[in-house]
Amino acid sequence: MEGKIYRPHFTTASDARVVRTRDSLRRALLELLQSRSFEQITIREIAATAGIGYTTFFRHHPTRESLLEEIAADEMRQLLEHLLSTFDADDTRAQSLALCQYVADHRAVWSTLLTGGAAGTLREEFIRIAKAVAEGSPHNTRWLPAEVGIILVASGTIELLAWWLQQRRPLSVQKVATIYERAVLSPIFQSYGD
């Protein structure tokens, strides 16, 4: 399953029911992650919270990990689509603000994912999508391979967001955007000009 999201094939007659069930499973897992870690949650609990039968879960996902991966991948994809729609490599401040504002606007989901065991999945999805985008972009760096830059940005992004969302008195979007720009984005983007 690595690198691919499990998407079972369903007939069109049941599509509305399938969508409702999958949405219920996603909401159920996110709800359960608010009170305990991913490792403590069982498939039976997810199914019961979603209001579906235990075996129905397996019609949609082979494992609870695949459900978490799907949620994390969809969130990361939405974030990156949002960022790419406004991307300007020369304006790291705008990119930093856009990222932090998006996460702040979706704080409940991101807090749950980053503290509930999906940080690794989010990081991997970030790297996968960023690599695909980077393949079409020329990089003029002599010392930093593009793949290393992507890994550093992905790791720095996830770690900073996780730290921010765990604070009892979180910093403002503007303050975290400044940290993100100066500590994560600028060093990498500056290397591409060297």
Whether 42 and 57 share a structural domain: yes
CATH number, position 16: 1.10.10.60
Q: Which comes out higher in pLDDT, residue 51 or 95?
A: 51
Instruction: Give the rounded percent of residues in the chain with a pLDDT score beyond 70.
Output: 81
**116 pLDDT exceeds 80?**
no
Residue 3 Ramachandran class (φ > 0 left, ψ -120 to 50 alpha, else beta): left
- Mean pLDDT of all residues belonging to the chain: 82
Cα 58 from chain centroid?
23
Q: Which DSSP state fits 177?
A: H
pLDDT at 128: 80
Whole-prediction pTM: 0.73
pLDDT at 127: 82
User: Cβ distance 50 to 27 under 8 Å?
Assistant: yes
**Which long-range CB contacts under 8 A does 145-150 form with residues at least 24 apart?**
149/188, 149/191, 149/192
Whether 34 and 72 share a structural domain: no
CA distance 7 to 60: 7
- Per the structure, the complete domain to which residue 79 belongs is given by 68-191
Whether 126 and 56 share a structural domain: no
Q: What is the pLDDT of residues 15-58, one digit of tens each?
A: 888 899 999 999 999 889 888 878 889 999 999 999 999 999 99
Whether 158 and 93 share a structural domain: yes
**140 pLDDT exceeds 60?**
no
Whether 139 and 174 share a structural domain: yes
Whether 51 and 105 share a structural domain: no
If pLDDT is split at 50, 70 and 90, which confidence band does 175 have?
very high
Q: Which residues contact 24 (CB under 8 A, 6 or more apart)?
A: 50, 51, 52
Please tell me which of 2-16, 40-54, 101-115 the model is most confident about, judged by mean pLDDT: 40-54
